[in-house]
Copies of this chain bind each other. A is one copy, B any other.
Amino acid sequence: MFRFNKDMEYALISLVEMSRQKEFQLLSARELSQRYAIPFKLLARILQKLSTDGLIKSVKGPMGGYRLNEQPENIRVSRILMAVRGEERIADCMSPGGDCAQDKIGCIIKPLIQVFQDKWVSFVENTTLDEFTGSNGNG
């Protein structure tokens, strides 16, 4: 819980790598897959999601590949999450149809969850890719 899953990790790796490419230069799924030992088909599927969203541009055929379709400073983490995962709620409690913890009065933890939800959204909206393209860890 509260973890980046592999899909998100792979998407982030790909986007950071693309942000390091020269402008208009393409990066193929095969190249990325080999460089980071990511299963090829799995990675391809994720890149296709990013492409469908418009975050990256795809070029088919030999010499094809992907490149960023936005400036890194305009790529919000919220958008990456949306492209990879679609709409998501922070708890069942927040669902519209509502698998909600009801007593006779109402959902007792909804106010709490709402505070979390709001802060979380604000965080992912205000964090962009360019914050991370600088120095490299060695983990």
Contacts and interface: CB of A to CB of B under 8 A. Distances in A.
B135 A105 contact: no
B109 A1 contact: no
Contact of A132 (B9, B13, B111): B111
Contacts of A135: 111
Interface string A81-122: 100010011111110001011110111111111111001100
Q: Which of A6, A113, A131 has the most CB of B within 10 A?
A: A113
Interface string A1-19: 1111110110011001100
Interface string A115-139: 1100110010001000110111111
28 contacts: A1-B85, A2-B81, A2-B90, A2-B120, A3-B90, A4-B90, A4-B91, A4-B116, A8-B91, A9-B101, A9-B109, A12-B109, A12-B112, A13-B101, A16-B109, A16-B112, A17-B108, A35-B103, A36-B101, A36-B102, A107-B137, A110-B136, A110-B138, A111-B132, A111-B136, A111-B137, A112-B131, A112-B132
Given A3-B91, A110-B136, A119-B127, 7 more contacts: A1-B2, A3-B88, A93-B139, A98-B139, A111-B132, A112-B132, A116-B127
